[in-house]
Amino acid sequence: MGKLVGIELKLPFKSPYDWQTILRFYQTHSIPGLEHVTENSFARVFRINEVTGFVSVAIMIGKPQLKVSIAPDAPEVRADIVSRIRKMFDLDCDPMLIARSFKEIPLLAGLCRRHPGLRLPRGWDPFETAICSILGQLVSAQQRANLIGQLVDHYGIEIAHPLAGHHTRLFPTAEVLASSDLSALKSTVARREAIREFSRRVVTGAISLCQDQDRAAFRQALLAIKGLGPWSAEYISLRAIGDTDAFPKTDLILRRVLRLYPQLDLKLIKPWRSYAAVYLWKEFAQSLSKSKNEKNHDVILQRNRSTGRQAQTSRKLQRFGRGSLAKRTAKPSKT
């Protein structure tokens, strides 16, 4: 392919910022064929209006900024791309405000000190994020990835990769999913119907995916769709429209934490309960997901309380392009 002229932007955020945790989330929740996540960067193909392009995101060493590389540089969609990246990486969060809101709850205050700067992971596109969340209900990470791959492969529009030139596919639109029988998706009849019905309601406007809306009404609209329960409603609200107060309490990990900490009163931190979910997932996902019974949970939590410790949880970045943006970025940029 010929040279693809692009642009680099620097997007600021408020420190502290836990870049590695949000990047690991996107590594395990990437869309096959569209998104590529390494130890140091996130990248994806996009189409906005009539512009098809490629965007890459990395953190700047020693500076509270993300470096965003966009190709081609299309001024008519640049503001939209920046807005998507700011939401996706929660760059407008004030971590000190979250820390202050957690002060009255010792468990959360301690987690905030232990894991400073956690952010809410969202997604590039709210419709994509919602559909991927539906596909991720009650299945393993590998099964979720397989289902998303099937959906993109069979129902996405084929395009030439804007940098590499090989054939790839975009995420299918709401119109396509609303009108398809989804027979190529190796999932349950109920899940296929939930995807179709959600897509239909997005197409007709019965469900809006804009950020500025009544979040409680949005969750109720999701619950009206057969196959979407409380977990889906809260999780989609959190990730698709950035609801900072969504809390999927029926989630396996969160349910077990609430059982072990019955005194945990999350009403005290409204409207920031989504951040509580992120901190609790960070702290307890590994230990409580492997627990077999309540007795094991008690042992784990007693150990955490007494020691105050939790086990913490290379590839180089790909070449961005052949044009003015073609650089080797094995590590985050220092400039």
Distance in angstroms (rounded) separating the CA atoms of residues 122 and 203: 21
Report the C-alpha gap between 120 and 183 in whole angstroms: 34
Do 134 and 240 belong together in one domain? Answer: yes
Angle subtended at Cα 87 by Cα 91 and Cα 257, rounded to the nearest 5 degrees: 85
236 and 130 in a common domain? yes
Residues in the chain: 335
DSSP assignment of 151-177 equals: HHHHHSPEEE-TTT--EEEPPPPHHHH
Residues 208 and 284 in one domain: no
User: At what angle are helices 273-289 and 252-260 packed, to 10 degrees?
Assistant: 90
| Pairwise CA distance, residues 70 & 124, whole Å | 14
Provide the 3-class DSSP secondary structure of residue 167. strand
Neighbours of 101 (CB within 10 A): 20
Determine, yes or no, domain membership for 69. Answer: yes
Say how far apart CA 91 and CA 99 lie, in whole Å: 16
Asked if 145 and 177 sit in the same domain, the reply is yes
Q: Please list the pLDDT of the chain residue by residue as tens digits (335 residues).
A: 445 679 999 999 999 999 999 999 999 999 999 999 999 999 999 999 999 999 999 999 999 999 999 999 999 999 999 999 999 999 999 999 999 999 999 999 999 999 999 999 999 999 999 999 999 988 888 999 999 999 999 999 999 999 888 999 999 999 999 999 999 999 999 999 999 999 999 999 999 999 999 999 999 999 999 999 999 999 999 999 999 999 999 999 999 999 999 999 999 999 999 999 999 999 999 888 764 444 444 433 444 433 333 333 233 334 443 343 433 333 444 43
Please tell me whether residues 271 and 232 are part of one structural domain. no
3 lies in some domain: yes
Q: Is 298 inside any structural domain?
A: yes
Please check whether residue 320 is in contact with residue 69, taking contact to mean a CB–CB distance below 8 angstroms.
Answer: yes
CATH (domain of 31): 3.30.310.20
Q: What CATH number did the domain enclosing 198 receive?
A: 1.10.340.30
Could you report how far apart the first and last alpha carbons of the chain are, in Å?
Answer: 28
DSSP-assigned letter for residue 50? T
pTM, two decimals, is: 0.85
**154 and 136, same domain (yes or no):** yes
Same domain, 157 and 267: no
CA distance 201 to 206: 5
Regarding whether 238 and 129 lie in a shared domain, the answer is yes
* Bridge-based pairing state of the strands 7-12 and 65-71: antiparallel
Q: What single-letter DSSP state applies at residue 52? A: E
- Domain range enclosing 268: 252-307
- Number of compact structural domains in the chain: 3
Residue 282 and residue 216 share a domain: no
